[in-house]
Structure 1
C-alpha cells in the first residue's frame, strides 16, 4: 500500500502543500478569511458581480417559481425553461447560433474535447492550457500533441504533418500568465490545415471585447473562425456553471455525445435566472471595464516602479514572477501579515522555477485598494532570493 502520509510530508518539504481558507460572508474585495478581515487580490470575480444586488434579487425572486434543485439531467426532466432561456441569452451574448449549459468549466472541457476527438484523431494543445483542457485531451483517447505557448508556426508545422481529424484547443486568456492567445493566427492556420478550433474563454468573457463578449469577439472572429467557444459563469459573470456555444449542429452533436452533459444533474433553475440577470449587467457594464483597465494600469506601473517582475499581461490577471516555491510562499505570507490575500502559485500549476504571486484585480476594487497593495509590496521589497531569505516568518501554504 502507498505511504500517503509520507507523500504529504514530501509535498510540505518541497513547498507544494496546499490548505483551504474558510471564508465567511459574500465574496468581495474586503472579506473575512479564517476569521480575519483581509483585502483580497486573489478572486476571479473580475467585474465584482458575485455579490451584485441584481443577481441576488433575481435568484431570490426565482426560487418561489422554480424551486431549488435541478433534480435530473437535462435529457431526463431537468431541462427547465430557465435553462433554455439562459442558453438563448448566452448564444446571443457570444453572437452564436446556439449554446449548451454545463455544470462547471472543468466538466465542459472534459465533455466537449472527448466528444469531438477520439482514437485515431489528433488534439493539439497549447503547453500552458488549463488542467481541465489537459485532462479532456487525455480522456478523449486521441493522440495529443502539445505546442510551445502561443507558437503558431510550430503548430502549423505539426498540423501540416498530421493527417485525419484534427482539433486545436487553447485558452483565450491564460489563467496563470494573464496573456491572450494569438486567436487570429490560430484561426488562420486551422482553416489552412482543416482543423477544428476550440477556445476556452473562461477568463476573457465579461472583461474583453465589445460589451464584455470575450476575447474571440475582441478579435472580430466569428463561429466560422472559432467553431467552439467554452466559457465559465463563476468568474466575471459572478454565478456558477459553464457553457459551450457554436452552431446549432455542433450543439446538437454535443447533446448526443458529451458524457459530462448527458450524465449530470442540471444546475438549479433559479441560478440560471440569476445568471441571465448578470449578463444584463455585463452588457451595460462598460464603466466597470473602464475602471478595471485603469486599475490594471495603475498596478502595473506601480509594481514595475518598485522593481517587481510582472508577466506581459494587460488583463486583470497580473502575476508577479518570483521563481522558487518557498520564496513565493514567503512573499504571500508577508503580504498576509499586512492584511492582504495574494495567492502563491506553484508547480504543477505553473512550470518548475516559475512560482509566482497571482494578483487578480476586480472592478469592485478602488484605486485606494490598489495603492494599499503597492504600499505593502514596497514595504516587503522586490522578490529577489536574497531579499526573500530575510523574511524570517513561518511559511503557510495557500495554493
Structure 2
C-alpha cells in the first residue's frame, strides 16, 4: 500500500473501532420517521401534478442550464422566481443557490473579511462552519443558545461583526432565542445571519419561518432558506437586500463558479411555494407533533421542541444503534445520530414527524418508544 492508502485505511479503521462508520443505505419500506419531508411535499401526488402542469407551460425548456448564471445559465423565469421568493419572505431581494450548503458557503466565505469577526452558535450546521473557515475573519463560538456566552464574545469582537445561527436546530429541533439575539446584535452593531432551513414551512405565516413568526424579518441581515426540507424540492436562497444580492453575484464563489440549476428545478420550487400557500399545512403538522409528545412516557429523555424534529437522548453509539434497530424491526424508519455528528454522550434517536404520517402510526411509534427506552 502507498502512504495515501495507508492513511485512508487507518482512518476508516478508527471509525469502525469507534462504531461510528457511515455507509449509504437503500430506500426502505419502513414508515418514514427520519426524512426532512415535514409537510409531505416530496411525495405529494397533487404537487407532482401541479409541477407537470407547469412544465406544460414551458415546452421549450432545456434539461440542463448549460452554464453558470453569469454565462449562459440565467433566464427571465429564474429572476422572476427570485423576486417572488423575496416578496413571499418580505424582503427586498433573494439569490438562488444550488443547495443550502452552497448558500452558506457563499455568504460566509465571501462577506466577512480579514479583521472582521464571526460569532457562531456551537451547534450551527457544518455548511456554516465550512463557509466561516474559508473566510479570513476571526471566529468565536458561543455556547448553544446562551446569551451570556454570546455577549462575552461580542465584547471581544473586532471589525464588522456577524452572528451566525440557525432559527431551528437540525439535531435538537429547538429554537434560537431570536428576539434576544437581535437585541444584542443591535447593541453591539452586529449583523445576524440566520439559517431557516428547518423552520420554513413549519413556523410563520404560511410557513415563512421563525423570523417571520416573531416579526423579526427587518432586524435580521440575511436569511438562508432551503427548499429540500418542508418544501420537498431542491436548492436554496439567500434572502436580504438588493445590495447583498449584487455583492454575492460578484463575490460568492459557490454561486459564480458552478453550473446553475436547470429551469426544471426552478419550476419545482415555484410550484412548491404556491402549494405552500394554498392550504393550512401547519395545523396538520402541529396536530401530529402534539400526538407524538402526548403519547410519550414523561420520563423519556427528550429535548424540548415545538418543531417537527424530536431528539431522544440515548448516550453511546452502540446503545443508540441498538435502539434504532429495535424500532426498525418494528417497522419504523428511525435513524441513530452518532458521535462525532453530535458530541460524545449526546447521541440520540432523531425523530422527524410529517404530514404523511397518520396519527395511528405516530401513536404506535410513541408506544414502541415507551417500551424500549
Which residue in 1 is equivalent to 2:361? 369
DSSP 3-state at the match of 1:231: strand
Q: 1:125 to 1:232 in 2, by over 3 A?
A: same
| 1:321-360 paired onto structure 2 within 5 Å | 321-360=313-352
- Secondary structure in 1 aligned to 2:297? helix
Tell whether 2:293 aligns with 1:300: yes
Partner of 2:207: 212
2:309 corresponds, among 302, 317, 324, to: 317
SS of 1:78 mapped into structure 2: coil
Q: Say if 2:297 and 2:370, in contact at 8 Å, map to a contact too.
A: no
Partner of 1:236: 230
1:277 to partner: Cα distance: 1.0
> Cα distance, 1:126 vs. partner?
0.2
Q: 2:251 aligned with 1:257, yes or no?
A: yes
Q: How far off its partner does 1:54 sit?
A: 4.3
Asked whether the equivalents of residues 82 and 270 of structure 1 are also in contact (C-alpha less than 8 Å), the reply is no
Tell me the secondary structure at the aligned position of residue 357 of structure 2. Answer: coil
Aligned positions, number: 366
Partner of 1:199: 194
TM-score if structure 2 supplies the norm length? 0.95
| Equivalence map 1:74-85=2 (5 Å) | 74-85=69-80
Q: Deviations over 1:23-45 (max 9, x none)?
A: 2xxxxxxxxx2xxx211100000
For residues 155-209 of structure 1, give each alpha carbon's deviation from its aligned partner in whole angstroms, at most 9, with x where no partner exists.
1232133231111110110000001111111111111111111000000011101
CA distance in 1 between partners of 2:177 and 2:295 (Å): 27
Structure 2 residue 282 is matched with structure 1 residue 278: no
3-state SS of paired residue (2:314): strand
Distance in 1, matches of 2:46 and 2:67, equals: 27
Question: Partners of 2:268 and 2:26 in 1: how far apart?
Answer: 25
Q: Are 2:260 and 1:266 aligned?
A: yes
Separation in 2, partners of 1:304, 1:185: 33
Query: What is aligned with 2:130?
Result: 135
Match for 1:42 among 18, 34, 37? 34
- Mark the runs of 5 or more structure 2 residues left unpaired by the alignment: none
Verify: 1:245 aligned to 2:239, yes or no: yes
Question: Which of the numbers 22, 27, 40 marks the counterpart of 1:18?
Answer: 22
Corresponding residue SS for 2:31 = strand
Task: Give me the CA root mean square deviation.
Answer: 1.4
Inter-partner Cα distance in structure 2 for 1:238 and 1:271 = 11
Aligned with 2:139: secondary structure? strand
How far has the Cα of 1:58 moved from its partner? 4.4
Label 1:263 to 1:44 Cα distance change in 2 as closer, same or farther (>3 A). same
Question: CA offsets, 1:214-250, max 9 Å, x none?
Answer: 0110110123x10100011110011001110111111
Contact 1:332 1:357 in 2 (8 A): yes
Structure 1 alignment gaps of length 5 or more? 24-32, 383-399
Q: Which residue of 2 aligns with 1:184?
A: 179
Task: Report the secondary structure of 1:74's partner residue.
Answer: coil
